[in-house]
Structure 1
Amino acid sequence: MAAGDGPGYFHIFGWLPARISIALLALLGMMNAVMVRVNLSVAIVAMVRWNTTAITHQVQVHCTATQHHNANASDLEGVSIGEDEDEGAEGNMTRSPALLDDSVMEGELDWDEVTQGFVLGAFFYGYCVTQIIGGRLSEVYGTRIVFGLSILAGGISAVLTPMAARMNYIILIIIRIIQGLFQGATIPCIFPLMVRWMPLQERSRFIAYVLFCNNLSITFTLPLCGLVINYLGWAAAFYVTGGLSLAWCALWFTFMYESPNQHPRISPEELQYIQEHLEENESQATPASHQATPPASVPWREMATSWPVWAILICDAGNSFGFSVYFSHIPTYIQNILGFSIKQNGVLSALPFLCRYLGAIISATVADMVMARGLLSVLSVRRVFSTIAMMGPAVNLLAVAHSGCDPSTAIALLCVGFFLNGFITTGLFANRVDITTNFCGTLTGLSNTCANVVSVIVPIVVGSLTQNQQTLGQWQKVFWMCVPVYALSEIFFLIFASASTQKWNYSNISKDTYEAEESTSEQEESFLSGVTDPNNDQNI
């Protein structure tokens, strides 16, 4: 059915169904959220007055001359890395002054490395605090107001950044913390929107396109800010990215509606399509749910004793642990051990993110088709794609650890790992909405908080394993360490994950009724599709 073909059908994207235009608005909002977050990472290179003596070091490469096609040390002089290298590791390759133009060298702000670290990290001081709060606020007050205010705060913060930086770095730190506090709600509040607008068969694609567009936004923002800084100065990078966010807010508050019933320009056909599928999805998840109502408050005790919740939290923590190694440390490994800077090449730097976005889109499209045609149960889809997203990168890390000293091979494997990890949208991420519709924002905030905590721990662990010993053997220990983390967290998910809406999602379902219905639901959700009747020889 082509939803949205009815008479008088029009909205901001007039040729698209209303739910798709809502998804596009959310996608653009997420891109703006990431844009005003990472703009400082690019602009700070031009903002700060650099000490050229302190950033000049001799390149050290750990691979043998034979593995580098008999290249000697002089062949590698001048090789350098980007601005985000691990400055604590001795013997690391660092920026060559030749790569920095005069405008960068003559930055107007005299900040040392410690100050820069506080300024760059200030956003995350606030961001980690409001994940759970933001998710709950979106459940109570709606995504329109919470998400809109989050992006609005990011836009205003970006516009104020140049003035604050020139006044005092403390003021800028405060602004970035406030920005993080508001934007901590961006991801959690998208899930309640999805519950209200997207049928089950379209949710994997929604997550892939909207939530994973941060990978797309990074590849777009880095060159955009570089281009703007080159022609208009570093302050303009904040004005441009902040202005785009403010312009998006005008569209969002004008054309966004909390539910299909509130949308004044949705076609009758599409409204009927969404309502029928949402009712069908909910009745299949919990047959008595049409008689149930959401609790007035978050059922923290029930959630804390729910195995499906713990399956999501532990799997998300394991995924965050492995992805942090991929995202932050494999580029360091490539530059320190293999003698090649992936960050120095803009195309190569963006390629892994594009691969992850592509993996998310492909896996989500396939999963939605499989569920729409009834080829696998929802739980089977979550398990299969989660296994690929977790075990694929784990095996890939072992390939990186034993791939030798060929940079091209390591980079290719890095892209493969990012691509496979994109499948996490269809497994772990989508499962949050399977088990709770009324508290999916809160659960997402809780899950993201756990993931962020793990992301803080990973650099400490990696640093302790590679401290003063930037060798191939030490890095192999790092990669091998990720394998059991990936495997154990995924096994826990496979055992305890559920695709049934949990009892605590509602307030007036009796225990006996719920347990009987969930038992029936679990019997229908075999690990592999087709084993629905144990007495039917044709299904075995």
Structure 2
Amino acid sequence: MPQPNGLSINSAPLDESEDVEPLIQSDAVPPQCCSARLNLAFLMFSGFAVVYGLRVNLSVAMVAMVNSTDPEPSQNRSVIYACPLPAGSDNTSDPFPQHQGIPQYPWDSETQGWMLGAFFFGYLCTQIPGGYLSDHYGGSVFLGLGVLGTAALTLLTPLAAKMGSYWLFALRALEGFVEGVTFPAMMSMWARWAPPLERSRLMTLSGAGGNFGAFVTLPLTGYLCQTLGWPAVFYLCGGAGCLWAVFWFAFVADDPRTHRRISKEERDYIINSIGAQGTGHGWSVPVLPMLLSVPLWAIIVTQMCSNWSYYTMLTSLPTYMNDIMHFDIKSNGFLSALPYLGAWLFSTLSGVAADGLIERKVFSITVVRKLFTLVGLLAAAAFLVAVAYAGCSHVLTVTFLTLSMTIGGTTASGVYMNQIDIAPRYAGLLLGITNTFGTIPGILAPIATGYFTEDRTMAGWRKVFWLAAGLNVAGALVYTVFGSGKIQPWAGALDDGAEAEQDRSGSIST
């Protein structure tokens, strides 16, 4: 309901909101516990846990799928291991035999790099169309079908590998094509579902499912490879995605207005909080103003820089643990997963902290987004450099990698949700645009890693870590200078009177 001062319920303050009267009392806000919006966040969390499991399982399974880390060694060159084997007779990175009848393939490091990056060739193609259509029609169908389609295709992985590396490359690219709509669809749904002062916690909770999925899947993949053989990884992960889709389509609606089990109190609260910005944008979009928007380009550049290090770790960390640290595949999966446990916890907690700072008016939205981005990217860069010089210390390497990903998780409440701040009605489309550019490192990082580490030396991996750290610093600087949390003039949906009121009060009148 409109408030006497022009503020909508739970509306978020912008940068010029120092003189705005206090928001409504917290007892007027329906509790989140058992609410429709919190249930939606948990379903999204589990869905992204599944799709990230489907995305990263190949990076560990690859160690079991190839029958040698160097299938065609030079006759005049002996392999020199960068680090000694860790203590314990069970720890060895030597190729291990699979169960009888389970094939292994002679793929070199370059071929492995291309297959690990294949997913992202398809992934970048559907980001923008997925965001545009989700904003117009609603995102539940696109998110549900994205997870279901990726899961169904994952079931075909052992068959594609048997047919040859080109077939596996094509299948992984098709999986990325289908999954590409999921994150834009999530952003589009939260534009309709998330009250402004709850955006950070709801969106980080749902998006943190990706890190949780990586944390669970990486060690599970190592265990399954040793006990059941690597094909079981893809059958079980694919089956889990198909099962999740049943619950998603049964319990989710695009909009609180059409949800069958939401209370009237919660529905009215969400609708009045979001106001006109919670409606679809229609078929037309302000393309030219978007192309000229400095805050949007700040998000694009920063996500590209940040994603380079994230995708390097996501796709290549198990290879580093195998080739340099020489952990067995079971330990490899567990230790590769530890950074994602930290990232999951920190990203979730950062959402609560960010909402608290905004609600209490400690900082403006712009300052909060920049603060969390700056801390996350610079700290992650510092620990990546530390990894490069940790040498063969297994304890220091695992510690620094875990700290890098953990503190880097705070960017979830920074640049990674900034699209919904600057243009809520176009949030899905904007995430599609930024994620399209942000996916480019997913293609290039594994290929670059394969190039730098062709000889499996510490010096080659040091270049990998330095490059990732340098791009993190560059992204932090760009976003600090050019980022913004204000709704942009081209975002639309407000009449002249409402725009004037927004300029005066720092909020949206409904």
Fold match, TM over 0.5?
yes
In the alignment, the residues of structure 2 paired with residue 334 and residue 162 of structure 1 have an alpha-carbon distance, to the nearest angstrom, of 24
Q: Residue 441 of structure 1 aligns with which residue?
A: 428
- Secondary structure at the residue paired with 2:424? coil
- Secondary structure at the residue paired with 1:188? helix
After superposition, the Cα gap between the structure-2 partners of 1:125 and 1:328, relative to the gap in structure 1 and judged at 3 Å, is closer
Q: Residue 180 of structure 2 aligns with which residue?
A: 184
Which residue of the other structure, out of 279, 303, 306, is the alignment partner of 2:290?
303
More moved, 327-336 vs 364-373: 327-336
**Are positions 1:108 and 2:108 aligned together?**
no
Q: Residue 493 of structure 1 aligns with which residue?
A: 479
Q: Residue 22 of structure 1 aligns with which residue?
A: 40
1:105-184 alignment runs, 5 A limit: 106-108=101-103, 112-113=107-108, 120-163=116-159, 165=161, 173-184=169-180
In the alignment, the residues of structure 1 paired with residue 226 and residue 468 of structure 2 have an alpha-carbon distance, to the nearest angstrom, of 40
Q: Residue 7 of structure 2 aligns with which residue?
A: none
Quote how far apart the aligned CAs of 1:116 are: 6.2
Q: Deviations over 1:270-323 (max 9, x none)?
A: 2233223223xx7xxxxxx79x98363232211110011011011111212333
* Alpha-carbon contact 1:35-1:241 (below 8 Å) kept: yes
In the alignment, the residues of structure 1 paired with residue 422 and residue 341 of structure 2 have an alpha-carbon distance, to the nearest angstrom, of 30
In the alignment, the residues of structure 1 paired with residue 178 and residue 119 of structure 2 have an alpha-carbon distance, to the nearest angstrom, of 10
In the alignment, the residues of structure 1 paired with residue 82 and residue 238 of structure 2 have an alpha-carbon distance, to the nearest angstrom, of 43
* Alpha-carbon contact 2:120-2:442 (below 8 Å) kept: no
Letter of the 1:20 counterpart: L
- Secondary structure at the residue paired with 2:150? helix
In the alignment, the residues of structure 2 paired with residue 307 and residue 351 of structure 1 have an alpha-carbon distance, to the nearest angstrom, of 36
**Are positions 1:33 and 2:51 aligned together?**
yes
Which residue of the other structure, out of 370, 378, 392, is the alignment partner of 2:357?
370
Quote how far apart the aligned CAs of 1:469 are: 9.2
Greater radius of gyration (CA): 1
In the alignment, the residues of structure 2 paired with residue 450 and residue 502 of structure 1 have an alpha-carbon distance, to the nearest angstrom, of 21
After superposition, the Cα gap between the structure-2 partners of 1:55 and 1:270, relative to the gap in structure 1 and judged at 3 Å, is farther
**Are positions 1:248 and 2:244 aligned together?**
yes
After superposition, the Cα gap between the structure-2 partners of 1:112 and 1:151, relative to the gap in structure 1 and judged at 3 Å, is same
Q: Deviations over 1:441-497 (max 9, x none)?
A: 12112212212213433456566667769355x765655555553333222212222
Which residue of the other structure, out of 474, 492, 509, is the alignment partner of 1:506?
492
Q: Residue 532 of structure 1 aligns with which residue?
A: none
* Alpha-carbon contact 1:139-1:438 (below 8 Å) kept: yes
Which is bigger in relative contact order (C-alpha 8 A, separation at least 6)? 2
After superposition, the Cα gap between the structure-2 partners of 1:493 and 1:296, relative to the gap in structure 1 and judged at 3 Å, is same
Q: Report % sequence identity.
A: 32
Q: Residue 310 of structure 2 aligns with which residue?
A: 323
After superposition, the Cα gap between the structure-2 partners of 1:220 and 1:336, relative to the gap in structure 1 and judged at 3 Å, is closer
In the alignment, the residues of structure 1 paired with residue 175 and residue 291 of structure 2 have an alpha-carbon distance, to the nearest angstrom, of 30
In the alignment, the residues of structure 2 paired with residue 329 and residue 120 of structure 1 have an alpha-carbon distance, to the nearest angstrom, of 8
* Alpha-carbon contact 1:204-1:426 (below 8 Å) kept: yes
Quote how far apart the aligned CAs of 1:335 are: 6.7
> When the two structures are superposed, what TM-score results if normalisation uses the length of structure 2?
0.79
**Are positions 1:239 and 2:235 aligned together?**
yes
- Secondary structure at the residue paired with 2:361? coil
Q: Residue 378 of structure 2 aligns with which residue?
A: 391
After superposition, the Cα gap between the structure-2 partners of 1:328 and 1:506, relative to the gap in structure 1 and judged at 3 Å, is same
In the alignment, the residues of structure 1 paired with residue 172 and residue 85 of structure 2 have an alpha-carbon distance, to the nearest angstrom, of 43
In the alignment, the residues of structure 2 paired with residue 443 and residue 394 of structure 1 have an alpha-carbon distance, to the nearest angstrom, of 26
Letter of the 1:218 counterpart: A
- Secondary structure at the residue paired with 1:28? helix
After superposition, the Cα gap between the structure-2 partners of 1:369 and 1:513, relative to the gap in structure 1 and judged at 3 Å, is closer
In the alignment, the residues of structure 2 paired with residue 463 and residue 44 of structure 1 have an alpha-carbon distance, to the nearest angstrom, of 14
1:270-281 alignment runs, 5 A limit: 270-279=266-275
* Alpha-carbon contact 2:372-2:411 (below 8 Å) kept: yes
> When the two structures are superposed, what TM-score results if normalisation uses the length of structure 1?
0.75
In the alignment, the residues of structure 2 paired with residue 442 and residue 20 of structure 1 have an alpha-carbon distance, to the nearest angstrom, of 24
Letter of the 1:108 counterpart: P
* Alpha-carbon contact 2:54-2:150 (below 8 Å) kept: yes
After superposition, the Cα gap between the structure-2 partners of 1:174 and 1:457, relative to the gap in structure 1 and judged at 3 Å, is closer
In the alignment, the residues of structure 1 paired with residue 49 and residue 40 of structure 2 have an alpha-carbon distance, to the nearest angstrom, of 14
Letter of the 2:404 counterpart: G
In the alignment, the residues of structure 2 paired with residue 193 and residue 149 of structure 1 have an alpha-carbon distance, to the nearest angstrom, of 15
Q: Residue 335 of structure 2 aligns with which residue?
A: 348
* Alpha-carbon contact 1:147-1:185 (below 8 Å) kept: yes
Quote how far apart the aligned CAs of 1:254 are: 1.4
* Alpha-carbon contact 2:221-2:333 (below 8 Å) kept: no
After superposition, the Cα gap between the structure-2 partners of 1:342 and 1:420, relative to the gap in structure 1 and judged at 3 Å, is farther
After superposition, the Cα gap between the structure-2 partners of 1:348 and 1:369, relative to the gap in structure 1 and judged at 3 Å, is same
In the alignment, the residues of structure 2 paired with residue 496 and residue 191 of structure 1 have an alpha-carbon distance, to the nearest angstrom, of 22
1:451-466 alignment runs, 5 A limit: 451-459=438-446
Q: Residue 411 of structure 1 aligns with which residue?
A: 398
**Are positions 1:263 and 2:277 aligned together?**
no
Which residue of the other structure, out of 391, 394, 408, is the alignment partner of 1:421?
408
* Alpha-carbon contact 2:71-2:107 (below 8 Å) kept: no
* Alpha-carbon contact 2:119-2:176 (below 8 Å) kept: yes
Q: Residue 88 of structure 1 aligns with which residue?
A: none
Q: Residue 96 of structure 1 aligns with which residue?
A: 94
Quote how far apart the aligned CAs of 1:518 are: 7.7
After superposition, the Cα gap between the structure-2 partners of 1:33 and 1:58, relative to the gap in structure 1 and judged at 3 Å, is same
- Secondary structure at the residue paired with 1:187? helix
After superposition, the Cα gap between the structure-2 partners of 1:495 and 1:261, relative to the gap in structure 1 and judged at 3 Å, is same
Which residue of the other structure, out of 196, 200, 209, is the alignment partner of 1:200?
196
After superposition, the Cα gap between the structure-2 partners of 1:438 and 1:103, relative to the gap in structure 1 and judged at 3 Å, is same
Letter of the 1:322 counterpart: S
Q: CA RMSD in A?
A: 3.9
In the alignment, the residues of structure 2 paired with residue 481 and residue 454 of structure 1 have an alpha-carbon distance, to the nearest angstrom, of 12
